Structure 1
Amino acid sequence: MIKSLRGRLFAGLTAIILLTGLIGGLFAHHWAFNEAIEMQDSVLIQIASLVQAGSLTGGRELHGVDEDAEVWLIDQAATPQASGDEARLWSVKDGLALATRKGQPIRVLLRTRPDGTRFAVAQRTSVRDEIASDMAFRTVLPIAALIPCLLLVTAIVVARSLRPMVRLADDLDGRRADDMTLLPAGQMPSELHPFIASINGLLQRVGLLMDQQRRFVADAAHELRTPITALSLQAENLDAVDLPANARGRVVALRQGIGRTRHLLDQLLALARQDAGQDDTRAMPVVKLDDVAKEVVADLLPEATGRGVDLGFARLEPALVRGEAVILAAVVRNLLDNALRFTPQGGRIDTCVYRDGDAALLQIEDSGPGVASAELGRIFDPFFRGQRPAGDGAGLGLSIVKRIVDRLEGTIEAVNLAEGGRSGLRVLVKLPGADA
């Protein structure tokens, strides 16, 4: 069963054209064949009229009457002792008839002169049929040649008619996930207007739901920061209080929980800001991605050293991109935080920043356990931590990175390292390069 609308239209129109061409060809062939037979009968009648008027004499064959035809003029006076086929011929009444002469079927026209003698003008049926078939074939030939042209025109018309739908699909496929711009209906065929109106209505509803979700996340995170800050201050005030050892251990756990909660709220606010950001990338300032990476690595170096992880650059080259230094720093920090969280003591994290053609690349490799193959496609989903979560992360860091990279019109991919017996994860961020 053909599921393509274009295929259905083309198959249906092809069937109609072929069926119409076949029926029309059969009728045209039948009509042309009969016309050719009638025309040859007219030739016999004209020859008989000439004989009747005395312009031609009997007893001979007439060649050249038609290009491929042979017509015999048979006079009864020249064959008075007729027998067999010719005897039966003279028994036929005047007019056109089918007869046999010398064992061959013929078309014959018999006439009687005023003196009572008779003559016949005859033509072989096989010659007549051959001439008629040839003329009928030449009549049908243009129709047969026209059918492939009609099929080609039909394919072109169907393709051009469905081109607006293809453009709409390409427009939707090329959009970012958060782009809820309405589809244009002005230049589209009227048959697509109900479909476009339905899609635009759906986009409006989805956009409204997304705005409500963003506002809720931002408002909830913002409102929760005040009580969390108050709790943090109260926990810090407990440092000056003389507490028993077991109570002081509980205060430490309390402060760690408050810190994790504050970090989660900061991540939620960052996620909400990225979802709400709709700035044009071309209007953003030019930033040195290598300088941003150096600053972030310098900030995280003490933490990496404390964990026994070798953090550094394997390749550092000048690379300019358009963006804000703050959000680019968030990309590098979140990726390095994720790598630090999964890299064991004694491991290493290699950072690379370089230019490749028109793109600026940021690559981070760690020597951790990597990510399960089934989970590799989900690590950029919000709140996804996988089957082997490490540390106190909320599963938002990589999601924020993905939102920022999409906003900057870049790409990000993660692959497990498998060469040389190594293990770990490689994350490659590719951003459009900028000129100084």
Structure 2
Amino acid sequence: MRSVRARLFVGLSVLVVGTNIGFGLLSYRRAAEEATELQDAVLHQVDRFAVQAGGTGLDLTDAQDEPEFRVVIEVLGAVRPGSPLAGVPGDTPDGISTVGKGGARWRLLVRTRPDGKRVGIAQSTASRDERVRDTLLQTLVPLLLLLPCLLLLVGVIIQASFRPLSVLAGRLDARPPDDLRTLPAEGVAVELLPFIDAINRLLGRVGEMVEHRRRFVADAAHELRTPVTALTVQAENLSRLGMPAEALPRLAALQGGIRRLGHLLEQLLSLARYEEGTAAATAGTSLDAAARDVVAAMIPVADERSTDLGFSRIEPADVRADPTSLRVMIRNLLDNALRHTPVGGRIDVEVYAEAGFAVFRATDDGPGIAADEIDRILDPFVRGGHVETEGTGLGLSIVRSVAETCGGSVVLANRTDRPHGLVATVRIPAASEARSDSAVIP
């Protein structure tokens, strides 16, 4: 049994049930002893008032009395026929004992009178056993009725005791992956403090590791910009020289590789900056204006690929965000869509306000994302299964970093109205200011 909660419940239940059983046995034993003492006292009283007065051969039972209350007085050795004491030896020693007769049990007191006669006084043990059963039932019935309540109370107490662990686990699960704040220790049970302290130390170490990685990536990308720029200049100088025709394809490949490397460095610097969250938010930044600027700038690229890039819906939508960050986010989303949309495809852009959020949505005709990759496609350097297109695997990570810096979120989903295609939706909390200009573009 691996569950601590189950072990506690079973252990406490066994303890409660065992205690009740022990108490019942103890009560039964005590009740039997008291009933036996009471019956012996009755026999002694009968001996004192009847036998010593000379009465023998008596059957002290009223016609209306229960048979188990019979008291029989006989002289041993001269017992009447049919008497319960028939067959009791005449030399039975004085004192109290229990004898059996025809399946019944009798409590027998033997006394020797001054005249030398030995008298036996007997009473059935049925009355005594009945009193014991009554006492036992009066004791055990309340316990048996209380037992389910006790077990239920044990379960409730255990559940309540473990509730802080469930609450703590829920809070940790609800945190975003980059939330490395320490857990508060106020109001937490003393038993959980070592556990929380260990988690906080772990979060601190993870935070330091993440910060070191971010700084290393940013520093490395910054240091590599200068040599990459020098390589770009040298490649351009080579292109101006008279080179053999067979060398031109190699030069073009070299220049393409340098451009991709430069783009990768810029993306790494952008990712480090937005992960740090240092971009200054501006009140009332127009998301629709930023989208117009980026779409206009990317129209020539879309035309080269015969891709229909444009707005299907655009409405006023203001957010509290850095304008440059918004443009970088939109550019990366549209660049990703252009890379994966086939020639002659279509990319629809929507900007609108909804339920207190500003929404940017881009819908393309590309291949979409495999179901097993869609949950991690926003992670750095994850490019998905369609690697035939150029890319660094950082664009969507930058989109997520910008959106989360603004308090928003990014959702990628495959299209359901067509066999293929992707819908990228960014939701950012809207600013309080609102404008009235709007348009829906067919």
Q: Normalising by structure 2, report the TM-score.
A: 0.81
Give the counterpart letter for 1:138 in structure 2.
Answer: Q
Q: How does 1:176-195 map to 2 (within 5 A)?
A: 176-185=176-185, 187-195=187-195
Indicate the SS of the match to 1:180: coil
Q: Distance in 2 between matches of 1:45 and 1:314?
A: 111
**1:301 alignment partner in structure 2:** 299
The change in CA–CA distance for 1:43 and 1:320 in structure 2 (over 3 A counts) is farther
CA RMSD of aligned residues (A): 3.7
Offset from partner CA, 1:69-115 (integer Å, 9 cap, x none): 842244559xx771244443594555433346787433344556667
Q: Distance in 1 between matches of 2:367 and 2:25?
A: 76
Q: Distance in 2 between matches of 1:299 and 1:82?
A: 129
Q: Distance in 2 between matches of 1:416 and 1:248?
A: 41
Q: How does 1:284-323 map to 2 (within 5 A)?
A: 285-323=283-321
Give the counterpart letter for 1:154 in structure 2.
Answer: V
Offset from partner CA, 1:219-272 (integer Å, 9 cap, x none): 111122223334434555667x46357366665554433332221111000111
**1:401 alignment partner in structure 2:** 399
The answer as to whether partners of 1:30 and 1:136 remain within 8 angstroms in 2 is no
Q: State yes or no: 1:344 paired with 2:342.
A: yes
When structure 1 is superposed on structure 2, of 361-370 and 23-32 the one drifting more is: 23-32
**1:31 alignment partner in structure 2:** 30
Q: Distance in 2 between matches of 1:325 and 1:236?
A: 33
Unaligned runs of 5+ in 1: none
Indicate the SS of the match to 2:369: coil
Q: How many residues in Structure 1 have an aligned counterpart in Structure 2?
A: 428
The change in CA–CA distance for 1:28 and 1:309 in structure 2 (over 3 A counts) is same
Q: State yes or no: 1:175 paired with 2:175.
A: yes
When structure 1 is superposed on structure 2, of 200-209 and 179-188 the one drifting more is: 179-188
**1:14 alignment partner in structure 2:** 13
**2:421 alignment partner in structure 1:** 424
Q: Distance in 1 between matches of 2:365 and 2:89?
A: 114
The change in CA–CA distance for 1:14 and 1:86 in structure 2 (over 3 A counts) is closer
Q: Distance in 2 between matches of 1:191 and 1:104?
A: 62
**2:257 alignment partner in structure 1:** 257
Q: Distance in 2 between matches of 1:291 and 1:40?
A: 104
Offset from partner CA, 1:114-154 (integer Å, 9 cap, x none): 67778765443333222212212322334434433433333
**1:198 alignment partner in structure 2:** 198
Indicate the SS of the match to 1:265: helix
Give the superposition deviation at 1:303: 1.6
**2:332 alignment partner in structure 1:** 334
Q: Distance in 1 between matches of 2:63 and 2:172?
A: 77
Give the counterpart letter for 1:326 in structure 2.
Answer: T
Q: Distance in 1 between matches of 2:278 and 2:67?
A: 87
Give the counterpart letter for 1:32 in structure 2.
Answer: A
The change in CA–CA distance for 1:372 and 1:189 in structure 2 (over 3 A counts) is closer
- Structure with greater helix share of residues: 1
Q: Distance in 1 between matches of 2:411 and 2:67?
A: 83
Offset from partner CA, 1:138-183 (integer Å, 9 cap, x none): 2233443443343333333333433443343334323332333233
Give the superposition deviation at 1:433: 4.5
Give the superposition deviation at 1:273: 0.9
Q: State yes or no: 1:42 paired with 2:13.
A: no
The change in CA–CA distance for 1:87 and 1:165 in structure 2 (over 3 A counts) is closer
The answer as to whether partners of 1:311 and 1:350 remain within 8 angstroms in 2 is yes
Q: State yes or no: 1:386 paired with 2:388.
A: no
Give the counterpart letter for 1:412 in structure 2.
Answer: V
The answer as to whether partners of 1:63 and 1:71 remain within 8 angstroms in 2 is no
Give the superposition deviation at 1:7: 2.3
Q: Normalising by structure 1, report the TM-score.
A: 0.82
When structure 1 is superposed on structure 2, of 307-316 and 337-346 the one drifting more is: 307-316
Offset from partner CA, 1:272-318 (integer Å, 9 cap, x none): 112222789xx863444333333322222222122111112333344
Unaligned runs of 5+ in 2: 434-442
Indicate the SS of the match to 2:360: strand
Offset from partner CA, 1:363-392 (integer Å, 9 cap, x none): 322111223334333322222223322432
Give the counterpart letter for 2:176 in structure 1.
Answer: R
Q: Distance in 1 between matches of 2:371 and 2:38?
A: 83
Of all paired residues, the percent bearing the same amino acid is 43
Q: Distance in 1 between matches of 2:331 and 2:180?
A: 30
**2:439 alignment partner in structure 1:** none
Offset from partner CA, 1:193-234 (integer Å, 9 cap, x none): 443343333222222221111111111111222233344345
The answer as to whether partners of 2:364 and 2:422 remain within 8 angstroms in 1 is yes
Offset from partner CA, 1:14-64 (integer Å, 9 cap, x none): 23333333334333333333333333433444454454687x995541589
The answer as to whether partners of 2:295 and 2:309 remain within 8 angstroms in 1 is yes
The change in CA–CA distance for 1:138 and 1:220 in structure 2 (over 3 A counts) is same
Indicate the SS of the match to 1:372: coil
Q: How does 1:59-78 map to 2 (within 5 A)?
A: 59-62=59-62, 70-76=68-74
The answer as to whether partners of 1:310 and 1:348 remain within 8 angstroms in 2 is yes
Q: Distance in 1 between matches of 2:335 and 2:364?
A: 11
Q: Distance in 1 between matches of 2:380 and 2:31?
A: 77
**2:165 alignment partner in structure 1:** 165
Give the counterpart letter for 2:377 in structure 1.
Answer: I
